[in-house]
Structure 1
Amino acid sequence: MRPSGADPASSPFSTRFDPALTSFADEICAMVARLFAYVGTLALVAILAVHFWEQLPDISGSREAPRSDWSVADRSAPAFALSVLNPDEKSGTYTILRHPQGGRRDIFRWIGEADRPLAELEIYRFGGEAFSALPPLADLAARMPVGRADLEAAGVIESKFGPIALLARENVRDGAGACLGFFKTHDDAALRLSGWSCQGDGLPARRSAIACMLDRLTLLSAGNEPKLAELFARAELRRQGCGPAGATAASDWITEADNPHLRGAL
């Protein structure tokens, strides 16, 4: 039997812990909890940063870089050509882009002195990607040089492909350096013609350049697309010509500033 009056604290069988050990254990638990909270916060910040970075538009690419998911098709044969009016005409580049979902873009570009953009013509044959592509106005505005303003209507010209809508930058005065855009969609052939011209010193010169550019566009190969072949066959019957005897009366669409024959309202 334990003697009466014995101090429980001095008993060798006591279950009480030293206060210093209890305080140290509490500090360890608190430190581990803070460490987990700190690591968790860092992981959350990293996840959010990656998410927002993926949402940012690609602003580092140049205007000449292929659009997202588009790649240069070096081995594809040219499907279109522009007839040459005279041997002194300035040359340009021809680039073919392809999309994994079947789209194809044939792009003619002309660059002037000091690498100044002169003109562009794009023939876009739709694939599955067309359902999620940029609207025609937004796509054209992104491709046109000089300024970042939205596009506004600038009239209509008649071409061998039918009426062509013209567009210009909002609040941009006409004159040297200004550019005129255009586009025309042919749903039956799943095709869109678009581009721009910065030719000449005024609107008539750029209208003439666009009309002559389209008039000179010819089809080399339609592949397995009968609707495309039919579109160009009908267009050739309406060809006006860019020579002195033609309706547009421009000897060279790169240098002339004559006004084309217009049927649409401006």
Structure 2
Amino acid sequence: MSLILSADPPEISAISARNRVFWRGPLRAALLYCGLSAGLTVALFTAAALVTPTGRSPVRSEPGPLPGSPWIDIVRPFQIYALSSEFGREPTTFEAQRHREGGGRLDTLTWGNLNSDSTPYLRIALHRVGRESAEDSSFFVQMVRQAALFGAAVTRGGVSDALATRFGTFETADLALDTGQTSTSCLGFRFASDTPALRISGFACGTPARPVDRQTLACTLDRLDLVLSGDDQELGRFFAAAETRRDPRCAPGRNHQASWMDGAAPAPLRGVARKTRSAR
């Protein structure tokens, strides 16, 4: 038995070769087209993600919330400090806060309007320090921070010097407070006591026609009184001891200058003095 091998005729082999060549070209072209299309699609999506459309603002990550203030507002606080001076009898605003962790109390009293050229401005902050740490910074830095609390900026500051009062020596300096509406010449001041732990600071600003001088500020601070100390006997003893060191030049009397705020001389602090003594 013989094995017969069949072979394609030459014409058929030539046709098959031509078909393979024909289909191989389009297949390569199709694969190349698909690859280019996929690459172009990826490039377009990448560009769309990177380029911001016209008329729309780029999305920016917002900063995280600032840490909460350590101070909590006291609802309907009792005014434990009083002051009757050339800036007026009753404060224009009064607020008190309690330290969230340390338990200290911060009383802030203001007179007048800093944006007004016709009236003076006085701001006094009294911090009865509790278990929290008291602010320890330079005079100028403290003034800048305190001014920022009520929307003002310290644009000029002089060299601080000592100011004697019945409570002790205050540090004070000439400053300029700018609110964006007005720029006012003021005296910045601060005082620190270790026993009791008490910090007093603020600003006293006059008018263009009548700036505040250091004697006026000293007498203003001299008339700061404690209305009621409550259970804080150490604070009561501090004000009682300062009572004997009042400056005679600051005592209310016939020659006392009229108030800037209402044009009338303030009355002597008889009621406040009685309350202060009973509180002690």
After TM superposition, the score normalised by the length of structure 2 is 0.60
1:179, 1:196 within 8 Å by CA — same for their partners in 2? yes
2:96, 2:108 within 8 Å by CA — same for their partners in 1? yes
Partner of 1:63: none
- % identical aligned pairs: 24
**Deviations 1:242-266 (Å, cap 9, x if unpaired)?**
32579xx74556479xxxxxxxxxx
SS of the residue 1:197 aligns to: strand
1:123, 1:192 within 8 Å by CA — same for their partners in 2? yes
CA distance in 2, matches of 1:98, 1:27: 68
Code of the aligned partner of 2:201: S
| Deviates most, 2-11 or 214-223 | 2-11
Partner of 1:118: 121
Partner of 1:190: 197
Shift of 1:182: 0.9
SS of the residue 2:243 aligns to: helix
Partner of 1:206: 213
Partner of 2:62: 50
Partner of 2:271: none
Aligned positions of 1:45-194 closer than 5 A: 46-47=59-60, 50-51=62-63, 70=71, 72-82=73-83, 84=84, 89-92=88-91, 93-101=93-101, 102-111=103-112, 116-126=119-129, 128=132, 130=134, 135-142=141-148, 148-169=154-175, 178-194=185-201
Partner of 1:219: 226
Q: In the alignment, is residue 243 of structure 1 matched against residue 251 of structure 2?
A: yes
Code of the aligned partner of 1:26: L
What residue ranges of structure 2 are gaps of 5+ in the alignment?
Answer: 1-5, 53-57, 177-183, 265-280
What residue ranges of structure 1 are gaps of 5+ in the alignment?
Answer: 56-66, 171-176, 257-266
CA distance in 2, matches of 1:250, 1:75: 33
Code of the aligned partner of 2:27: F
1:197, 1:209 within 8 Å by CA — same for their partners in 2? no
Larger radius of gyration: 2
2:110, 2:122 within 8 Å by CA — same for their partners in 1? yes
**Deviations 1:29-78 (Å, cap 9, x if unpaired)?**
44234424653677xx745x524x979xxxxxxxxxxx956554332222
CA distance in 1, matches of 2:194, 2:247: 24
CA distance in 2, matches of 1:182, 1:219: 19
**Deviations 1:129-185 (Å, cap 9, x if unpaired)?**
756999423224546998742422253221111111111127xxxxxx532121112
The number of residue pairs the alignment matches comes to 230
1:209, 1:253 within 8 Å by CA — same for their partners in 2? no
CA distance in 2, matches of 1:206, 1:23: 87
How has the CA–CA distance of structure 1 residues 24 and 188 changed in structure 2, closer, same or farther, with 3 Å as cutoff? farther
1:117, 1:145 within 8 Å by CA — same for their partners in 2? no
CA distance in 1, matches of 2:149, 2:157: 12
